[in-house]
Chain A
């Protein structure tokens, strides 16, 4: 790919990016969130059209007008958010959109495809029951289906966008083996990631993207420090686990007993969970995405009424299913979906800062809001939490992810919480913002707040938590001390294995 440029309204997502991958190699595309990796891959798969630049495949220039052109050219993609049809079977998903002449039959022959899919699965060690429906499969299995889709179309180039984000460490290992095998067959694998250790583990060469530009292509033997430097553009401190004095106050601030919560699909998403968080302690809830983390967080913060169990805050029983009761009891919430749940995206920053405190005497008198006070308070909050914005009258959705999260954290902290529920607080943020958010979480804990950190990023939990519990299919399957536990042990628990 030569000099690829792609603009979106107000954003230059790819700025003259050069990228080249050889036959038979695993080539990593490394960069922070927002560096332009996904845009570049969406151009290569025909989903976006570049504003400038050329794509050359096997010595010939290629022009993609639609995804089907890219598929015909032998490019397969495993998207970060799977492109699968949940009610369809594995075989139906594989067949979807198939239009090669040899498969061009009017009527569908399910048997034949099922057999073919089973064979491919065997051959590459990614077997999935072809007649299972997608919604019945685990996330790891769904990813296999995505790979099978590409293999079925005889993709010579396979692109994987952040494939390990949804996998346990063991599943990631297995995936790497599959990818190596595919490369050994002469296919080209393009592996998109922001995780250095994975890139080093699987790739032959690495191209680093930063701020929409291609910075360098280096051998994967380069040190982590070198790669991180290229990725961030400055020297970074790796291994950020910092010791923090846990205040010696043993009282439990948040106690959850036998909590069960119904999920959106019906069935219990959280099953009989009991855990306690002490003042000044950060408890990390590790787990692969979609194992009940969201439901757990929503139940504690009152957004989702549980079907069983009790929640105690500071020893008092919390009225469940009532967000206002949770707020009054001192439960702060940094939700997973910061734009949708964390703020009202089309309202101003100032309005968003008083979403939880508008009843307070400081900002309202009787039924009337005191706008001057609200604005002053918002300006103060923006300043104190270093939210970068031209003014508090801007809509919340106009803030970048990092600044939005600072705003949410600022609002939550200003309510002087006893308990903080933080769900994937750094997802999608760049390295700088992640450091800041981690700093705020540590600070909150050292001020005595009990922090429950739910995250799919095991490294984050290892860096922050004083205690780690693992959630798998709604149950807690492990309780670890981060000082002594190994990643393998925790990974096993994340996959539902016995300790």
Chain B
């Protein structure tokens, strides 16, 4: 039966583990297209994860409603974190790099998210509800693609719709056009009566919300529950930031890249270990190496992209990372 073969398992894990990265990357994409670099994604995901799980444990009502509420709570928590970032970098024009890093440290495993989780008594509590696999469209048993694509949680299906929505938003709508202008030449956008601050706030908040949902993917679906520290999200936020660059600031390529990284952080290492392929040298089969794979790939991708030609041709928003000051003299 091909559907239980190892390859199919690896690929279905790639989709599962790629989904939180995809959410976070789409959020980062929105923020960056408006010209704001957000290095706080990892922290936003951690906060989203803990708050999402909190809502699952405490919200009243039927299971499906609770889960919807939980995702919304995670999004709201991420957006609140985004608000801090937006206030610092748009209103106060602080360094975007410093603000983002500070947010991640502040919210990270030793900070806010752990405090919230412990304070709310969420550590290692069995989940009341979780987002399980849904056999959507009844395609689960189709060979190969069934288990890979159609036996996933609702968040996975939502992420597809979101990818299409973001891609269309940026390329086809009036607002998308304005956002891109704000990220490329805020001076030009300003002169045409576009409110730079409003656009940047909106997209940093929206980006934060999506990062929050990305975090909730872990605590509600992939590894339901919450544990202290930052192992729950485990660097997915950093991967998402690299992924935005890797995908040339395009939503549809984020999807592909997210699944690539999903494979590296999900099923592939397990598969390599389980099979113990003779052809692979021992070093490459050590759990340490396999666990480092997605990060290693991130570093390599960033190095390639930072070098020469790529920088010019990739289509990074020209005003990325630069605060906008109108009355500059």
Bind each other: yes
Are A266 and B188 in contact, CB atoms less than 8 angstroms apart?
Answer: no
Q: Does B178 contact A (CB under 8 A)?
A: yes
Given contacts A11-B329, A108-B173, A108-B177, contact A83 B318 (CB under 8 A): no
Q: Does A58 contact B (CB under 8 A)?
A: no
Given contacts A84-B185, A97-B194, contact A92 B329 (CB under 8 A): no
Which of B174, B192, B318 is close to A108, meaning CB atoms less than 8 Å apart?
A: B174
Which of A79, A92, A99, A108 is close to B191, meaning CB atoms less than 8 Å apart?
A: A79
Would you list which residues of chain B between 158 and 202 have a CB under 8 Å from chain A?
Answer: 172-178, 180-181, 184-185, 187-195
Would you list which residues of chain B between 271 and 329 have a CB under 8 Å from chain A?
Answer: 309, 312, 315, 318, 326-327, 329
Given contacts A85-B184, A266-B312, contact A71 B174 (CB under 8 A): no
Given contacts A8-B329, A83-B188, A97-B178, contact A107 B173 (CB under 8 A): yes
Most buried by A among B180, B193, B326: B193
Q: Contact flags (1/0) for A106-132 with B, using CB distance below 8 Å? A: 111000000000000000000000000
Are B193 and A88 in contact, CB atoms less than 8 angstroms apart?
Answer: no
Given contacts A48-B327, A84-B185, A86-B184, contact A96 B177 (CB under 8 A): yes
Would you list which residues of chain A between 71 and 109 have a CB under 8 Å from chain B?
Answer: 71-72, 77, 79, 81-88, 92-93, 95-99, 104-108
Residues of A contacting B176 with CB < 8 Å? Answer: 108
Q: Does A279 contact B (CB under 8 A)?
A: no
Would you list which residues of chain A between 43 and 75 have a CB under 8 Å from chain B?
Answer: 45-48, 66-72
Residues of B contacting A97 with CB < 8 Å? Answer: 178, 181, 189, 192-194
Assembly CA distance A87 to B248 (angstroms):
14
Assembly CA distance A105 to B172 (angstroms):
11
Name the CB-closest residue of A to B184. Answer: A85
Assembly CA distance A70 to B178 (angstroms):
18
Q: Contact flags (1/0) for A202-217 with B, using CB distance below 8 Å? A: 0000000000000000
Assembly CA distance A83 to B184 (angstroms):
11
Assembly CA distance A311 to B107 (angstroms):
58
Are A77 and B191 in contact, CB atoms less than 8 angstroms apart?
Answer: yes
Given contacts A83-B185, A87-B315, contact A108 B172 (CB under 8 A): yes
Residues of A contacting B185 with CB < 8 Å? Answer: 83-86
Assembly CA distance A93 to B180 (angstroms):
11
Given contacts A8-B329, A83-B185, A88-B180, contact A106 B191 (CB under 8 A): no
Which of A9, A83, A107, A265 is close to B192, meaning CB atoms less than 8 Å apart?
A: A83
Which of B184, B193, B315 is close to A67, meaning CB atoms less than 8 Å apart?
A: B193
Residues of A contacting B309 with CB < 8 Å? Answer: 266
Assembly CA distance A85 to B193 (angstroms):
14
Are A47 and B191 in contact, CB atoms less than 8 angstroms apart?
Answer: yes
Are A45 and B191 in contact, CB atoms less than 8 angstroms apart?
Answer: yes
Q: Contact flags (1/0) for A1-24 with B, using CB distance below 8 Å? A: 000000011010000000000000
Are A83 and B187 in contact, CB atoms less than 8 angstroms apart?
Answer: yes
Are B190 and A67 in contact, CB atoms less than 8 angstroms apart?
Answer: yes
Would you list which residues of chain A between 335 and 372 have a CB under 8 Å from chain B?
Answer: none
Assembly CA distance A265 to B313 (angstroms):
10
Residues of A contacting B172 with CB < 8 Å? Answer: 107-108
Q: How many A-B contacts are there with CB distance less than 8 Å?
A: 90
A312 to chain B, nearest CB (A): 31
Most buried by B among A85, A106, A149, A265: A85
Name the CB-closest residue of A to B190. Answer: A67
Residues of B contacting A83 with CB < 8 Å? Answer: 185, 187-188, 190-192
B201 to chain A, nearest CB (A): 16
Residues of B contacting A108 with CB < 8 Å? Answer: 172-174, 176-177
Name the CB-closest residue of B to A106. Answer: B173
Residues of B contacting A48 with CB < 8 Å? Answer: 326-327
Residues of B contacting A265 with CB < 8 Å? Answer: 312
Assembly CA distance A9 to B329 (angstroms):
9
Would you list which residues of chain B between 132 and 179 have a CB under 8 Å from chain A?
Answer: 172-178
B47 to chain A, nearest CB (A): 32
Given contacts A86-B318, A95-B174, A96-B178, contact A71 B184 (CB under 8 A): no
Assembly CA distance A82 to B187 (angstroms):
9
Are B329 and A67 in contact, CB atoms less than 8 angstroms apart?
Answer: no
A51 to chain B, nearest CB (A): 12
Residues of B contacting A92 with CB < 8 Å? Answer: 177
Residues of B contacting A105 with CB < 8 Å? Answer: 174
Q: Contact flags (1/0) for A271-288 with B, using CB distance below 8 Å? A: 000000000000000000
Given contacts A86-B318, A108-B174, A266-B312, contact A71 B181 (CB under 8 A): no
A314 to chain B, nearest CB (A): 36
Are A99 and B193 in contact, CB atoms less than 8 angstroms apart?
Answer: yes
B91 to chain A, nearest CB (A): 16
Would you list which residues of chain B between 52 and 93 have a CB under 8 Å from chain A?
Answer: none
A451 to chain B, nearest CB (A): 32
Given contacts A87-B184, A96-B181, A96-B188, contact A66 B195 (CB under 8 A): yes
Assembly CA distance A71 to B184 (angstroms):
21
A152 to chain B, nearest CB (A): 11
Given contacts A8-B329, A68-B193, A97-B194, contact A85 B188 (CB under 8 A): yes
Residues of B contacting A47 with CB < 8 Å? Answer: 190-191, 326
Assembly CA distance A47 to B213 (angstroms):
38
A321 to chain B, nearest CB (A): 17
Assembly CA distance A302 to B24 (angstroms):
45
Most buried by A among B174, B176, B189: B174
Residues of B contacting A84 with CB < 8 Å? Answer: 185, 188
Assembly CA distance A97 to B181 (angstroms):
9
Residues of A contacting B188 with CB < 8 Å? Answer: 82-85, 93, 96
A107 to chain B, nearest CB (A): 5
Are B181 and A85 in contact, CB atoms less than 8 angstroms apart?
Answer: yes
Using A81-B187, A85-B189 as known contacts, list a sample of 19 further A-B pairs with CB atoms less than 8 Å apart, ordered by residue number in A. A8-B329, A9-B329, A47-B191, A48-B327, A68-B193, A70-B193, A83-B185, A83-B190, A85-B184, A93-B188, A96-B178, A97-B189, A97-B193, A98-B174, A104-B174, A106-B173, A107-B174, A149-B192, A266-B312
Q: Hey, which bits of chain B sit against chain A, CB under 8 A?
A: 172-178, 180-181, 184-185, 187-195, 309, 312, 315, 318, 326-327, 329
16 contacts between A and B (CB under 8 A): A8-B329, A46-B193, A66-B195, A67-B191, A67-B192, A68-B194, A70-B193, A83-B187, A84-B188, A88-B184, A92-B177, A96-B177, A97-B189, A105-B174, A106-B175, A108-B174
Q: Hey, which bits of chain A sit against chain B, CB under 8 A?
A: 8-9, 11, 45-48, 66-72, 77, 79, 81-88, 92-93, 95-99, 104-108, 149, 265-266
For the complex of A and B, 5 pairs with smallest distance between CB atoms: A68-B193, A97-B192, A83-B188, A83-B191, A97-B194
